[in-house]
Amino acid sequence: MSALITFENVGKIYKTGSIVYEALHDVNLEIEEGELVVILGPSGAGKSTLLNLLGGLDAASSGKIFFASEELTAFDDVKLGKFRAMDVGIIFQFYNLVPTLTAVENVALMEELGIKIMDPVKALEMVGLAERKNNFPSQMSGGQQQRVSIARALAKQPRLLLCDEPTGALDTNTGKEVLKILQDQSRVYNKTVVMVTHNALFAEVADKVIYVKNGTVVEVKHNDSPKDAFDLDW
C-alpha cells in the first residue's frame, strides 16, 4: 500500500489574545489508502485538531501535509474547499445534520457541491434507513441521525472518511452498527477511514492505531488481525 496521507513535522498553534496554545507539535505520520485508522488519546490531547488538519478544516501552523502526493498545506481556501468536497467525507459526533432538511435532502445536499454523487436513496439504503428518507432529523433517534450523516458522507464516494467520535452519542448496539458500517467502508470498498475517539476499545477494530498525547504522536501501532465491530466486547 502507498501512503495516502503524510504529515511532516506538523504543528498547530491557537492564539487567543495574548494566550498561545500549542495544540500539535512536530507530528509525523503516514496513513495508507484503504486503512482503518483509529486516533486515540485523552481529552485535550490534540485528536480533533489532527482530524481537522487531515480534512482540510483547519490550516497547520507549521510543517507539511500531503494527500495523494499533493501538498494540502499549500492549498488556498478555494482549493481546500474543493478537496473537502471531492475527497473527504466527514462524520461528526453530534451528526450535524441540517435540521430543516429531511434525511434524503440532507444526503442530496451533496449534489449541490457540483459533484457526481450516488443516488441519495441508495446511500440511505446502504445504512439501512431508506424507509426514513422523508423524516426530519428531529423525528429520528441519535443512531438514525448518525446513519444519515454517514450516508451523506458516503454519497459522494470520497477517498477519505473522517469520523469524530462517531459513536460518542450512541448506545452500545447502535454504536456497534455504526462502527460496522465504517469498517465495511474500509474492508469492502477500500476507503481510508480515520476515526478519532477516546474509547481504547476501538483500537481492536483498527488496522492502525495512532496514540496522541499532549499534542504529539507518542506511538503508532499496527494491528495485524483487527476484530469485527460486532465482536467487540463493549
Partner 1 sequence: MKKNLIKKMFRDLRFNAVQFVSIFIMCFLAIFLLAGFDADTQGRLRSSDRYFKKTNFFDLLLTSEGFTREDIDTLEEIPEIAHAERRTSLKGKVTNCLNKKIELNFIESDEVCKLYLMEGEPFTAGKRGIWIDWHFAKVHNLSIGDTVEIDIDGKAISEPVTGIVDEPQHTNFMIDESYTEAQYGDYAYAFLDTSEYPLDDINFETAVVDLTTVENQMYLTDEDMKAFKTAKLDILDKISKTSMSIMIKPEQEAYAAQRSDCSFNDTMIAIFPSLFIVLALLSTITTMSRITAKQRTVIGTLKALGFSRKTITLHYISYTVVIAFMGCFLGLLAGYYGLGEWLIEDFYDYYSVPGGSMGMSYMVPVVALSVVVFSGVANYLSCRRLLVLSASTILMPEAPKAGGAGFIEKLFIWKHLSFATRWNLRDININRFRSVMGVFGVLICSSILMGAFGFDEILAEQDDWMYDDLRPADYTINLSDRGGYSWAYDYAREYKGQMIMTSNAELMSRTDSRLFTVTVVDKGNLYRVQNDKREYLDIPVYGAIISYKAAEALNVKKGGNISFRLPTEKKIYTVSVTDICKSPDVQGIIVSRNCFEKMGGYFDPQTVYTDMTVPVSIASDRREVTGVINKNELIHSLEKDMESMNDMVIVIIVIGMITGFTGMYNTGIMSYIEKTRDVATLKVLGFATEKIRWILQQQNLFLTGAGTILGIPVGHLYIKYLIDSMDPTADYIVDLTYLPYVKMVAFTYGLSILVNALISTRVKSINMVEALKGVE
Name the strands in the sheet holding 160-164, side by side, starting at the edge strand that comes first in the sequence.
Answer: 88-91, 160-164, 192-197, 36-40, 208-213, 216-222
Q: Are 124 and 103 in contact (CB under 8 A)?
A: yes
Among 8, 32, 105, 125, binds partner 1 (CB under 8 A): 105
Residue 6's nearest CA partner among 28, 38, 39, 36 is 28
Per CB under 8 A, which of residues 41..100 are in contact with partner 1? 48-49, 52, 55, 57-59, 77-78, 81-86, 88, 90, 92, 94, 96-100
Of 137-156, binders to partner 1 (CB under 8 A) are 152
Q: Under rule CB under 8 A, which residues in 7-46 are in contact with partner 1?
A: none
Of 155-194, binders to partner 1 (CB under 8 A) are none
Output the smallest distance, CB 120 to partner 1, in A: 10
Residue 130 CB, nearest approach to partner 1 (Å):
18
Q: Which is nearer to partner 1, 87 or 207 (CB)?
A: 87
Cβ–Cβ contacts within 10 Å for residue 9, how many?
12
Alpha-carbon separation of residue 225 from 27, 44, 80, 198, 208 (angstroms): 26, 30, 35, 21, 11
Least distance (Å) from partner 1 to the CB of residue 89?
Answer: 8
Taking the alpha carbons of 192, 98, 81, 21 in that order, is the dihedral positive or negative?
negative
Task: Work out whether 128 is an interface residue with partner 1 (CB under 8 A).
Answer: no
Q: Which is nearer to partner 1, 25 or 208 (CB)?
A: 25
Asked if 31 contacts 47 with a C-beta cutoff of 8 angstroms, the reply is no
Binding region for partner 1 (CB under 8 A): 48-49, 52, 55, 57-59, 77-78, 81-86, 88, 90, 92, 94, 96-101, 105, 108-113, 152
